[in-house]
Structure 1
Amino acid sequence: MNETLKQEIVAYSKKIGIDKIGFATADPFQLMKERLKTQQESGLQSGFEKGTIDERTEPSQLLPEAKTIISIAVAYPSKMKNAPKSVRGDRKGIFCRASWGEDYHHVLRRRLDKLEQFILSKVPDAKCASMVDTGELIDRAVAERAGIGWSAKNCAIITPEFGSYVYLGDMITTIPLEPDVAMEDQCGSCNKCIDACPTGALLEGGKLDAKKCVAFLTQTKDVLPVEFRKKLGNRLYGCDTCQVVCPKNKGVDEHRHEELEPDPELVKPSLIPLLTMSNRDFKAKYGYMSGSWRGKKPIQRNAILALGNFKDAYALEDLKKVALEDPRPDIRATAIWSIAQIDQSENTMIFLRELRETCNESIMIDELDAIFSS
């Protein structure tokens, strides 16, 4: 019965827009547990992780009597059509590919809900627990065990069909189903992702210093440490460098799902309008994207940094207005840094000195003093 049910689940998954599906045992992820403990002790975690280490590696803690974990993968595009040009006077930022289109958490959740209803129609007394990324279970570990792909040196799952451009979701169930075979590592001696990582966050052995990862840094809300500001480039949310350089992703560009197609003007937006965007406008424009989950502040801060990295003099007056009028001292301090990156002429230095005389926020004073002492 269960082999027939497994094949029915696979067939149904294709009908509802799941590009790849695999089955794994619900045994504890013992090796992952040890790695997480080491990561935690080494201070390499981001702080965004949900749940305890036991909850993240023992499926039965999330669903008693768990027998099987179903792993799903949905492919997303790697290239956009009609991407707007970033030109002097109208510089553009960029959202990473994982934030193109509708928030993938919602997209995959809908598919998992349909899959769960199908399974319950076949086995009414079964229990299921689904999650997408924000759940306790580590989706990469599940996908690896379920044969979706291998866990690569860039800390992503790479599939033979779609490279690493896939979203992952999981469903724990009490139904015993035949597990699939895990895929062997195919990275070999290639270290292109490690070598290309802007901040050196990727470590040997498929480890990640999460707090140095540019994708993590773009989601923080405070003033960004100086050593990372230029590393952001024009990134507003996320980072794709380790995916773009991966040989396994060469030529991969899937356009299978309309809701995951990017709006070029949203995922590569003009930077200056972002500086003064209201919360209401931000939510209306970007709220449906996964890159909006931390709110507008990180995006605005990153837009300010991007303008400084472009060194575009057309942005000077807008940045000066932010430095003078924005109610958030850390945003004003970021604007001060970008102003100094763009221009240190006599007029600009006079502006900054006058600002130093009037401001009383330590975070801004430190930024200004650093400029004057350099």
Structure 2
Amino acid sequence: MGNCWGSTADNPTPSTTAHLNSGLSQATSNATTSRCSNISANSHFSAASGDEVYPHGQILPTPNLRIFCFAELKVATKNFRADTVLGEGGFGKVFKGWLEEKGSSKSGSGTVIAVKKLNSESLQGFQEWQAEVNFLGRLSHPNLVKLLGYCWEDQELLLIYEFMQKGSLENHLFGRGSTVQPLPWDVRLKVAIGAARGLAFLHTSDKQVIYRDFKASNILLDGSYTAKISDFGLAKLGPSASQSHVTTRVMGTYGYAAPEYVATGHLYVKSDVYGFGVVLVEILTGLRALDTNRPTGRHNLVDWIKPYLSERRKLKQIMDSRLEGKYPSKAALHISQLALKCLAAEPKHRPSMKEVLETLERIEAANEKPREPRIRSHPMAHRQGQSPMIHRSPLHPRQGGSQTYQYQHSPLVR
């Protein structure tokens, strides 16, 4: 992990969370008083339910989540056995689990889940647990990871999510090894569009939500590479109609956080747009937003790459070599120009996520075919020396080997 700055806690403020807390208090009160009394009634559920009915998303008045028993989660994760660990970070460990459907006569019928378990020594854990229940427990959209339920028993705090088979965008872009397949151009575009739909939903909802920690490790992929935004531990309600921004402690991830937020703590809806622009550059280049193993002057991807994004000839020099030149040059240029707009220094000069989504959808609709490349040496061959993956999203499977990767997003981390 790198150097940190900021507070170790991000206290909810009455102006942004009071009306949500009532729903959480009621839900968690049920959890502590009735324990798991409602489990039998809610034992049959689907990790995909709801999105088909509301393809454009919905916001529930209160969290609608299943309350799990700690004992049943111990069974699902084989007593939180080490070989079920998917990731680890500041909150704690995340385990892969299997829930058998109650009352089903079919053997092997059930649901694969991801269980995030709070580390008792975590300083950030309870507030992030609370934020996940408050926000993700009320939000339903095909491009947001589904929070299925939670457990609060004695000192045990856990969150239960749908399991995302293909892991994170981060791992596909930066991971190495035989188990990691580089993403072809059409999948990269699909992922960008899905993530944009998720952010646009948050930004245009009645209770505007600022995600605050948009990055490649928080974009998870299901079995068909549908992108879903995960981890709402830092989410905040947007400003009131009379305000332009929310003032809060600076928390997030170096390289993705918008400059105005890092400098002042002023959080705009379009601070998320900046982070989206960084991810677009990562999708184009296959390079990390921040990598201190790169040569001096190239540690920060945006600062280094910006001059290459405006012209097709320059763009060719920094495109991901693992695409092997198989990408439509016109579409790549349009996306790089869109990224430049997202990375504008001032929030007011950035497009809205609705505009970003419409632009990406137009690029996809143009259906420009990837060109066959000419054989040539790639100017980005030095990429092989970039650092190994050190941040992981908590909900996706480890890709090969026995190395334990870590994620952390609060406070701002390198």
Q: Same fold (TM over 0.5)?
A: no
TM-score w.r.t. length of structure 1: 0.32
TM-score w.r.t. length of structure 2: 0.29
Higher helix fraction: Structure 1 or Structure 2?
1
Higher strand fraction: Structure 1 or Structure 2?
2
